[in-house]
Structure 1
Amino acid sequence: MSERKTYFVNVILPLALPRTFTYRLPQEWNDFIQIGQRVIVEFGRGKKQYSAIVEKIHEQAPTNYQAKYIEAILDESPILHQNQLDFWWWISEYYMSPIGDVMNAALPGGLRLASETRVLLHPNYQELVNELSDEEYILVEALEVRNVLDLSEISQILGIKHVHSKVKNLIEKRVVMTEEEIKQRFKPKMIDYVKLTKNAAKESRLKEIFEELERAPKQLEALMTYIQMAKYYSQELKEVKKLDLQKAVQGTSSLINELVKKGVFEIYQVEAGRLQTSAATQSRKDLNEFQQKAFGEIKQHYQQQDVVLLHGVTSSGKTEIYIKLIEEAVKSGKQVLYLLPEIALTTQIVLRLQAIFGEKVGVYHSRFNENERVEVWNNVLKFNPGHFEDFQIILGARSSLFLPFSQLGLVIVDEEHENTFKQYDPSPRYQARDAAIVLAKMQNAKVLLGSATPSVESYRNTQEGKYGLVSLNKRHGKVQLPEILVADIKDATKKKKMKSHFSPELLKMMEECLEENKQVILFQNRRGYSPIMMCESCGNSPTCVNCDVSLTYHKFQKQLNCHYCGYHIKLPNTCPTCGDTNLHVKGFGTEKIEEELAIFLPEAKIARMDLDTTRAKKAYHQIITSFQEKEIDILVGTQMVTKGLDFEDVGLVGVLNADNMLHFPDFRAFERSYQLMSQVAGRAGRKGKRGKVLIQTFNPEHQIIRQVIDSDYLGMYKNELIDRRNFQYPPFYRLIHLTLRHRDKSKLHAAAHHLARELKKKFGDRVLGPEEPGIARIRNYYHQNIMLKLEKQASPKKAKEILNKQLEAFAVHKDYKSVRVGIDVDPM
């Protein structure tokens, strides 16, 4: 770029704003600016500073405001590619989400900065004071007095406007750190290494040092040990970690530091990754004839179509087909994205993939801290076939879609039917499966969707020729599908045969299973001990003060919790309304099942896997490993236990209450019930003897339960299509869901009816509502819903343009501009 030109840049700010903003570039930076870099800009009346992403470079000044100058360029090279920016814009436009929200969802927190950043001294700063410039020294003195400063205060102290570069330099020198860093903002993990100084490395000087250290035997031992560990007199010198040397001589850090002071050693630092990788230890298993046939059909479909649905029954060996496809993509120098719906699933599959592909496998999900996520991001960004191939295969949850892939060749979406691929809050509310297909198309990659129970929408796309369809109907190793039985708990309750929440059939089958040294999985889709605590005298049930829901009893914590806002109270001894002590719990969750099992099966080792027991980073791995190694006999869990986990010795799966799922007020309730019951049934009998599944229900003849027993996916699919065509639901109609929120119930009611009237003027009877949802108040905000149903033939782009105009007008309405509106395109 020529220095004489004046350039402007459009930047994306990390704020809920629907567009970019234009800033002027100082001419001295003309040759350094690139699309995808982070820059510091001022925005807003308070002159707050933000790190923004450069989206466009041009020479056109804005006409309706005067462009401010960019304050600083943070990166030497871009942190994302142009194709990521294109993908961000697609997410923003399709899901009607501000581009700033997409930026916040995409970038790890460690790559974001704002002027609220607070700076404080690093604990070891005194060692480096002599290396500081005058301005840096002034800042250190100010921090010694004030302890903590924000960026605006630093600007005033130094008398300069642009302080980001000064602070960045001090962070790199390890003189200061930001408050965010203490909360795990990214900084490289550094390891201290030891080497001889240039002077000490001279042969003549080294002999003198040996003689000088004869009076300090421990220091002499440290030097001798270093020479041995470093293989100093061999052709290949080895690096020696300071900590390893200390351990070898059973010394302390001060021992090595003394040798540093004497000019014998010098300490240098090497960046070390926090991410655990391992070398490949085995080769890929050969495919059986059914898998080979399916693999061939997938490859054949890829000649005509970019997306293929692999419909394979549980335990049919879909993962082995995925691995062969990954192997081909890796050999051709392409990157692979393997999407999973649950973090719990990554534990098993990571071990399988790392055994075959070694350090090429990387993992990315929200349980990683910010440092780890930035390291994965940087490794994906650096990918270069033949040169840097770490993390060529990324395995992760939905957020891994946003990683900076440059040569994506294959996307695998495992368990594609799962609703956890949908992001709910905060915005953008994207569907990772659908977004992955768009991402793959942008990068000319192929997509494989895999499931034993495909979503109705995906299967419909195969019938319309949009996707290829490959079926795999045989379980791997000639293992039979499990025998599915039903326990009529209505009849058992009448005859008083129920033992708490267990039918006699379930208890008998569990006892038999444990006698055969087999394991049991019990599925109950509700965590906690009991959903309701009720006073038997007056009928009062404790409710949340912030939400319109009953509090759930958690016995281990001895408190009542709200699962929506986190509000909790201690377990009351008396009814707060009438003062009676006759309090009883109604219903049951996983915690109660775990406790009662210990009464009926006292010899069994029981564990629970739900949100409460898996909050810690490695909790999934610990529970799954313990179950795999048979340290657990019975695993009680929520949806987590239904999704793709592979255990060899599960002889029985019990579904404790099928009716809750079937009667859930949602048009997808039957589809989801079929999927959940079929998936959890698929955990049984995956190796050797045929497994058993017992479903407890009040309605054994329910159509969905009969279809689960018969493994009749097509019957469920056809019934669902009829209902959805009749009632105008996907896949025949598109849905856009609007949620209005406000603390004032009457204002919200008026606002919702006003917006609905305006929308009906444009969309007619395609608009449903407004109406109160099942839970009308959450976190002290009242809710009203409006649903927009659009024919599949209608232009979604045109409809969204009209809707956007209506929402813009609503946002500036003098009476309703305080009402918040959330938009959910393609709600689940």
Structure 2
Amino acid sequence: MHTNSAVLFNENTSFTYVDVIVPLYLKNTLTWFVPSQFHNGIAVGVRVEVQIGKSRRYAGIIKKIHQDKPANIEVKPILNVLDDRPILHEDQLKLWAWISKYYMCTEGEVMIAALPSHLKLSSETVVVFNPDHEVDTQTLNEKEYLVSEALEIRSELKISEIQKILDSNHVYPVIKQLIDKRICLVFEQMNETYKAKTETYIHLNSIYHNEEVLETLVNSWSKAPKQLDLLLSFLHLQRTQGDVLKSALLKKANASPAVFDGLVAKDILKVEKRQVDRLPNLPKEFNINFRLSVAQETALMQIQESFQQFPATLLHGVTGSGKTMVYIKLLEQFIKKGVQSLFLLPEIALTSQIIRKLRDHLGGHVAIYHSKFNMSERLELWHKVKSGEVKVVLGARSALFLPFSKLEFIIIDEEHDASYKQQDPAPRYNARDAAIFYAGLVNAKVLLGSATPSLETYYNATTHKYGLVKLSERFGNLELPDITTIDLKLEALDAGQSQIFAPLTIDSIRATLDKGRQIIIFQNRRGYSPYIICNTCSWIPKCTNCDVSLNYHKSSNKLHCHYCGSTYPLYKTCGNCGNQDLLQKNFGTEHIEENLETVFPEQKVARMDTDSIKGKHSHDTLIKQFEEHKIDLLVGTQMVVKGLDFDNVGAVVIPDGDSILHFNDFRVNERAFQLIEQVSGRAGRKNEHGQVFIQLRDTNHPLIEKLQKHDYDAFYNTEIQERQMFFYPPFSRIINVQSRHNDAFASKEAMTIFCNFIRQQYPQFVFGPAQPVINKVRNQYIFECMLKFQKNRQIIDGIKSAIETAVVEVLNHPHLKRTIFTVDVDPL
């Protein structure tokens, strides 16, 4: 639970200084002086306007209030207080501080990731006019009106331009008021995929509020009978429901928009656009219309017992065991206590089925924190979470930063998923681990769920750092699918079928389709062909900005770089020898989709990857089509693995198993087992037994037998012994450091100096410098160093300090000042 421990100023206190977090890369928190006129308005967690340098201004967060004047520094005054009360809790600031220290970034970088853009005003901010606002400009004060009028003319303004308009540097309070009234938006919103939601409401012209006038109108109607029907439908809805939505009216009257427009043209009906709450106004009643199985009831009881002993508990439930139903029962209990819960998912956009299940059973208690919501919607949810109005938040990793006031329960579903780890930019935090730390701050319980837990989590559970509850049977006593390997060394691929599927695979797909069952084909490469090669000299087209081969996308008929996003025209001749014999090698999801449409022309084929799923609702639409059996064959990347539960999937096909099993990384077996077991779990969830077909050449790989038996424990026992033998996590800690520079020699020199500096103190822990497999991205040459060391607090703190000092040492060389260092703690 949070405590109301914010330190407030009053006339009797002697505090005169505040430490403020600003959204910048600043190693240390800066201090400002508080003028007397602001003494009553400041508290920890309140935003204040501060100046850095000669002209840059920022809305920073007060971290600490004190009376210790920094020595030998001229302390500037804060310029304004922007909030009446704290916008976040002190426990959140403690979380920011922990993330900053643990993941070796600054609190300013955490602030950038944690706050909605509306709360991060700076002198670099651009505000834009919101043409959909519904505020009467006559209600604005003089300053607000001047800025609003200028925005309407110019569409967008920089902070500096607003300062000139008002002839004042103190413009943040004015901008805040305009944002609150939704007259203007911050620039970041212009990149969002949709605008704030509006609904069209219908009113009757006021002259017809008189019953006699209305009766005369209806009785004298002689033409346009469809318009009369529509009017009568409107009157019925108005009397029974009050406010009338245009969409509901057209549906009830079964009328076209043209008929409706006729009544508007006659000035009988009036149209009003209203901005509505994105959070659905669902009823707050529960609808728990299912019963747990005996195994689920046992697991639920064991979880509750485990919560009495452990801060975190792992629910290890096989695919299809009904973990979500257990989650819902637990959420119901915490909602009834009147406290808040956080349900974390790896990627919120890919889990529409779970969203629907929670909304169906828990109704209006559940709110969604979605990456594609615009800033106004995020801000709206921010305040509802802070007030405690929202009881359950379903979100991706950034939902961890919401200002919960009564957080007592956190679910981390699919806890093994790499999407919980932020890669770029900083903070490079793992939301799973940060959530466990945060739960400790606020005394909340944590439930980690997975069919294929990460080795670190399972190790923590088996060594009694976490609790462990197992759910070892599928719901309804269904069996796990059979996994069959198809040996590509024995099965000749048909060149006429673009050499993707072996004849045995084609026969297996056809047999499944003949039973009326659906099929998922999993390939973790998008595009048409992962690379093109010259058949004469083996030349491969590469990106000029990155050291990677270009992927051919047939839909655009171009070559794409999946690292920097550059596109290139399709080569007709070899760039090296000039030969025209260019071959497309390997295959992506786009190629598989085309291939299946050729082999099975009578079947409906669809593709699910980041190229085909663009709009906000496109993923959910595709999922619903598959649920309704409008799609027979679904081709996809990891999107088809996450959060999907289908009744009619008879088989899963993995056409390139070798690419999953062979990769140069110490986690390769863990990732391969998780990926194949997860995608296999989509098959046979209801009715008939499921089948999984894996095409590969390495049929003797030791992981295959464990996968065929769905034996996670056997996999874990083998893998954990190897991790211990070679001193990899969970028995050690790893920090990866990269240097980037637009000159390859400078990047190598920078990393060499860095490694040599660390070796002076910790020679046994340094591995590098070395070039990664992909050693050039966006014209930056990359060298890296891995630090692997014991899980000892003193050693960890010492190495982190040495890293910071080593980076300073490198950047002190004049010709290496432009080197960019990135530090990744606990990389995945």
User: In 1, distance between residues paired with 2:652 and 2:246?
Assistant: 52
Contact 2:415/2:448 (8 A) holds in 1: yes
Query: 1:110, 1:185 within 8 Å by CA — same for their partners in 2?
Result: no
**Alpha-carbon offset, residue 70 of structure 1:** 2.2
The residue number in structure 1 matching 2:636 is: 637
3-state SS of the aligned residue for 2:762? helix
Q: Which residue of 2 aligns with 1:560?
A: 559
Name the amino acid aligned to 2:789. L
Question: 2:716: which partner in 1?
Answer: 717
Task: Give the TM-score normalised by structure 1.
Answer: 0.89
Q: Does 1:377 find its partner at 2:386?
A: no
1:114 matched to which residue of 2? 122
Match of 1:283?
A: 288
* Paired amino acid for 1:150: K
Q: Are 2:434 and 1:435 aligned?
A: yes
* 1:783 maps to amino acid: I
- Shift of the alpha carbon at 1:803? 2.7
Match of 1:462, SS?
helix
The 1:283/1:811 distance shift into structure 2, 3 A limit, reads: same
Distance 1:511 1:225, change over 3 A: closer
Contact 1:346 1:396 (8 Å CA) reproduced: no
Matched position secondary structure for 1:350: helix
- 1:751 is matched with which residue? 750
Matched ranges for 1:720-739 at <5 A: 720-739=719-738
Report deviation, 1:806: 2.9
What's the counterpart of residue 352 of structure 1?
357
Report what 1:472 is aligned to: 471
Matching residue of 1:321: 326
Counterparts of 1:595-634 in structure 2 under 5 Å?
595-634=594-633
Cα displacement (A) at 1:322: 1.2
Q: CA separation in 1, counterparts of 2:750 and 2:161?
A: 42
Equivalences for 1:195-594 in 2 at 5 Å?
Answer: 238=242, 272-276=276-280, 278-279=282-283, 282-383=287-388, 388=389, 391-493=390-492, 500-594=499-593
User: Separation in 2 of the partners of 1:660 and 1:64?
Assistant: 60
Q: Give 1:230 shift.
A: 6.6
Query: How far off is 1:513 after superposition?
Result: 0.6
Q: Is the 8 A contact 1:336 1:392 kept in 2?
A: yes
TM-superposed CA distance for 1:486, in Å, is: 0.9
Match of 2:62 among 33, 54, 57: 54
The CA deviation string for residues 221-256 of structure 1, in whole angstroms up to 9 with x for no partner, is 99999998776xxxx995677999999986788988
Structure 1 CA distance for aligned equivalents of residues 487 and 185 of structure 2 = 63
- Kindly provide the amino acid, as one letter, of the partner of residue 103 in structure 1: M
Query: 1:780 maps to what in 2?
Result: 779
- In 2, the alpha carbon distance for the partners of 1:469 and 1:406 equals 28
SS of residue matched to 1:493:
coil
Secondary structure in 2 aligned to 1:569? Answer: strand
What TM-score results when the alignment is normalised by the length of structure 2? Answer: 0.89
1:629 Cα deviation after fit: 0.7
8 Å Cα contact 1:768-1:786 kept in structure 2: yes
Aligned AA (1:455): S
Alignment of 1:23-34 (within 5 A): 23-34=32-43
- Output the amino acid matched with 1:507: I
**What is the SS of the residue equivalent to 1:440?**
helix
Q: Is the 8 A contact 1:415 1:450 kept in 2?
A: yes
Does residue 1:97 correspond to 2:105, yes or no?
A: yes
Q: CA deviation at 1:270?
A: 7.1
The CA distance in 2 between the partners of 1:507 and 1:186, in whole Å, is 42
Q: Is the 8 A contact 2:738 2:751 kept in 1?
A: no
Alpha-carbon contact 2:316-2:453 (below 8 Å) kept: yes
Contact 2:493 2:500 in 1 (8 A): no
The whole-number CA distance in structure 2 between the counterparts of 1:136 and 1:449 is 49
CA–CA distance in 2 between the matches of 1:120 and 1:722? 58
| C-alpha displacement of 1:68 | 2.2
Retained in 2: the 8 A contact 1:186–1:370? no
> Aligned partners of 2:76 and 2:648: how far apart in 1?
66
TM-fit CA distance, 1:679? 1.1
- What is the CA-CA distance between 1:421 and the residue it aligns to? 1.3
- CA–CA distance in 1 between the matches of 2:373 and 2:136? 32
For residues 20-65 of structure 1, give each alpha carbon's deviation from its aligned partner in whole angstroms, at most 9, with x where no partner exists: 21222332222222222222222234x1122211212223333332
Q: Which letter maps to 2:438?
A: L
Q: Secondary structure at the match of 2:512?
A: helix
Change in Cα spacing, 1:185 to 1:105, as seen in structure 2 (3 Å) is farther
Separation in structure 2 between the aligned mates of residue 351 and residue 372 of structure 1, nearest angstrom: 20
Q: Does the aligned pair in 2 maintain the 1:7–1:59 contact within 8 Å?
A: yes
Partners of 1:650 and 1:685 within 8 A in 2: yes
Equivalent-residue separation in structure 1 for 2:559 and 2:453 (angstroms): 37
Identity of aligned residues (%): 42
Residues in 2 aligned to 1:328 and 1:131: alpha-carbon distance in whole angstroms = 46
- Alpha-carbon displacement from aligned partner over 1:634-665 (angstroms, at most 9, x marks no partner): 11111121233110111111111111121110
Q: What SS does the aligned partner of 1:292 have?
A: helix
- Counterparts of 1:594 and 1:345, CA distance in 2: 20
Matching of residue 792 in structure 1 with residue 791 in structure 2:
yes
Q: Displacement, 1:381?
A: 1.3
Q: Does the residue aligned with 2:422 lie in a helix, a strand or coil?
A: coil
Candidates 73, 78, 88, aligned match of 1:65: 73
Q: Residues 772-794 of structure 1, C-alpha deviation per residue, up to 9 Å, x if partnerless? A: 00011000000011111111235
What is the letter of the counterpart of residue 630 of structure 2? E
Pair 178,624 (structure 1): closer, same or farther in 2 beyond 3 Å:
closer
- Superposed displacement of residue 345, structure 1: 4.0
Q: Does 1:163 align with 2:167?
A: no
Q: Does structure 2 retain, via aligned residues, the 8 Å contact 1:536–1:584?
A: yes
Deviations 1:416-451 (A, max 9, x none): 111121111111111111111111111111111111
CA contact (8 A) 1:530 1:553 kept: yes
Q: Secondary structure at the match of 2:351?
A: helix
Q: List runs of 5+ in structure 2 lacking aligned partners.
A: 1-8, 222-227, 251-256
Match of 2:82 in 1: 74
Tell me the distance in 1 between the aligned counterparts of 2:268 and 2:78. 44
Shift in Å, 1:257: 12
More deviation, 664-673/618-627: 618-627
Q: Deviations over 1:471-499 (max 9, x none)?
A: 11111111111111111111213999987
Contact in 1 for aligned 2:57/2:122 (Cα 8 Å): yes
Superposition CA RMSD, Å: 3.6
SS in 2 for 1:83: helix
The AA in structure 1 aligned to 2:98 is W
Measured against aligned partners, the alpha-carbon deviations of 1:567-588 in whole angstroms (never above 9, x if no partner) come to 1112222233333322210111
Q: CA deviation at 1:748?
A: 1.1
> In structure 2, what residue type is equivalent to 1:316?
S
Shift in Å at residue 611 of structure 1?
Answer: 1.6
Judge conservation of contact 1:225–1:249 (CA < 8 Å) in 2.
Answer: no
Aligned-partner SS, 1:492: coil
Report the equivalent of 1:767. Answer: 766
Q: Would you say the 8 A contact 1:40–1:71 is kept in 2?
A: yes
The residue number in structure 1 matching 2:677 is 678
Distance 1:27 1:253 in 2: 58
Alignment partner for residue 39 of structure 1, among 28, 35, 48?
48
Residue 490 of structure 1 aligns to a residue whose secondary structure is coil
Q: What's the offset of the Cα at 1:174?
A: 6.6
Q: In the TM superposition, what is the alpha-carbon distance from 1:7 to its structure 2 partner?
A: 2.8
Kindly provide the amino acid, as one letter, of the partner of residue 819 in structure 1.
Answer: T
Higher mean C-alpha deviation, range 622-631 or range 272-281: 272-281
On the 8 A contact 2:351/2:643 being kept in 1, the answer is no
Specify whether residues 135 and 224 from structure 1 end up closer, same or farther in structure 2 by C-alpha distance, changes over 3 A only. farther
8 Å contact kept, 2:770–2:784:
yes
CA distance in 1, matches of 2:493, 2:171: 76
Aligned equivalents of 1:226 and 1:480: distance in 2? 54
Are the equivalent residues in 2 in contact too, given 1:739–1:786 (CA < 8 A)? yes
Q: Deviations over 1:716-768 (max 9, x none)?
A: 11221222112111011000010111101111111111110000011112011
CA contact (8 A) 1:740 1:752 kept: yes
- What letter matches 1:803 in structure 2? I
Residues 206 and 434 (structure 1), Cα distance of their counterparts in 2 relative to 1, 3 Å cut = same
1:264 corresponds to:
none
Give the counterpart letter for 1:808 in structure 2.
V
